[in-house]
Chains A and B, each alone.
Chain A
């Protein structure tokens, strides 16, 4: 079967040596998009981005132009952009490549967004673990200031823009936009109640736009090639391309930029070269650890937001994690739950306690001490968590359990009955788990 190839927009310059340097970036058309944006009225620019159909690439898929238009136009309080580069959804590794390899593409996108919304200060929140990305961005921001793409008069337009680079310090929750604001203000990364939404009252209680790295990095290309050009890619509701982070049991893991008309099969068997050692595909996580798992029955599902939602999961962060036939699904689900238990911020009781309960029950089943009633107990905890936690982390933690019990219930039952997994990868091994269980 013919599979779709990659369609590179953000990755167009990926192979160019030293594209992270300003001179090289400028030689290849860099900052042309910003030049065009500055020649436009901000309102027209917002309309252009709306017309392109660009939707946020952080996870929720909210239309970018519309998000910008919610920021009040009235002068008064300063307005801010917070760039979300706290990429930490398990399986996701695209923003890291974008900032390490092509930092100027992001900086240009930031400047375009800020001009459209009337923002003079952008905060770039990069997760602490990305030290190398932080150093690449620091160098690129310095270069951009010196060349006049940032600072007192952006490209001699009289428009003033500053970027403040801000390092996180290790907490998944800070990728949740309101928690990111709490962290940026110097507190624990606790999520906040919405409304008020950040567009009205965000950072320092001022109007704030929060956009993902990939979203912003797309903007220069829309400015140069036009909204219609961008909207010409993808489906009716999911326009353009998206970077998919393919990992797990595939022959060629990697970041692949695909048009949103592509399918799981295109990604896994086309780009990824198929399953490791030509084994059977067993499970697919289509959008990071927060997304419900799918199976090999879903290979022809489209990669666009709507198709993945219709299949019962979510496109999330674009992280596609593949598991083959030897994988013990209870072991894999336990590992995902250990992540959520570790990263639950502790603010609300359902999530703090629920993730721990689920982890403990999963350990019990995985280690061969489970009871038949544990399966219902897991679902009962999920029911008391989903929709009842303060922020989406709690809901997300239930996805692997509910989808795991939907598609792989037989593995849970087998473990309860026979006390031992049939599968070699991730079967219970006291040596592997003893230290923290």
Chain B
């Protein structure tokens, strides 16, 4: 059975038609597939490769190059802590350690209940609001440990500010 629904396949074909060469739509297609499936499994990548008439290995080479693509199932909320110089000077390492303690996980890991993943990001262009984090690619700026505690509570209840990633499809 296909992982990519017919509607999603149509959407990707429409994206391809916007460019002089269809291959230009590959990054956008991978974003959309990840939004639907939660991550880019080898099977999902193979289906994208077939749509673009590309070898699966080439899709894999893109998925490994661009760090926003998930190559394993992630939590419903991916918390990305900026670690670059402006946030570093404003205490981003301490924030990250606080999250590690609170969630009981290390960088790159997901909590056992599948709720949270903790990752580090390079400069997120929120230097004037350092330290900054992103929750599912939405910004939170001038972050403190207390704010993080409140955010985790908010997310556990389900938050309209931060749409959750879908339940990741089975590996």
Contacts and interface: CB of A to CB of B under 8 A. Distances in A.
A323 B89 contact: yes
Interface in A304-327: 319, 321, 323, 327
A184 B125 contact: no
A129 B137 CA distance: 6
A332 B85 contact: yes
A76 to B, nearest CB: 15
Interface string B126-151: 11111000100111000000000000
Nearest to B123: A90
Contacts of B26: 186
A88 B125 CA distance: 6
A345 B19 CA distance: 25
A388 to B, nearest CB: 23
Contacts of A336: 85
Contacts of B134: 129
A343 B85 CA distance: 14
B67 A170 contact: yes
Nearest to A185: B24
A112 B18 CA distance: 22
B9 interface: no
A93 B130 CA distance: 11
A321 B52 CA distance: 43
B51 interface: no
B125 A130 contact: yes
B68 interface: yes
Contacts of A183: 27
A253 B127 contact: yes
Q: How large is the interface on B (under 10, 10 to 19, 20 to 34, 35 or more residues)?
A: 35 or more
B86 A171 contact: no
A335 B28 contact: no
A247 B84 CA distance: 12
B157 interface: no
Interface string A336-353: 101100110100000000
A121 B19 CA distance: 10
A426 interface: yes
Nearest to A129: B124
B123 A89 contact: yes
Interface of A: 78, 87-93, 95-96, 121, 127-132, 164, 166-172, 183-189, 204, 245-249, 253-255, 285, 289, 319, 321, 323, 327, 332, 335-336, 338-339, 342-343, 345, 425-426, 429, 431-432, 435-436
Nearest to B137: A131
Contacts of B18: 164
B85 A90 contact: yes
B16 to A, nearest CB: 10
A128 B125 contact: no
A80 to B, nearest CB: 9
B50 to A, nearest CB: 15
A168 B125 CA distance: 14
Most chain A C-beta atoms within 10 Å of own C-beta, residue among B20, B97, B121:
B20
B138 A132 contact: yes
Contacts of A95: 125
A121 B125 CA distance: 27
B62 A204 contact: no
A186 B27 CA distance: 7
Given A171-B65, A248-B90, A253 B130 contact: yes
Interface in B39-95: 52, 61-62, 65-69, 83-86, 88-90, 93-94
Interface string B89-120: 11001100100000000110000000000000
B128 A204 contact: no
Contacts of B85: 90-91, 248, 285, 289, 321, 332, 335-336, 339
Given A169-B27, A254-B128, 17 more contacts: A88-B123, A90-B84, A90-B123, A132-B138, A166-B28, A171-B66, A171-B67, A184-B24, A247-B86, A247-B127, A248-B130, A249-B89, A253-B86, A335-B83, A335-B84, A342-B122, A426-B89
Contacts of B123: 88-92, 172, 289, 339
B61 A188 contact: yes
Given A167-B28, A248-B90, A249-B89, A289 B84 contact: yes
A247 B24 contact: no
A319 B127 contact: yes
Given A186-B25, A332-B85, A432-B97, A246 B66 contact: no
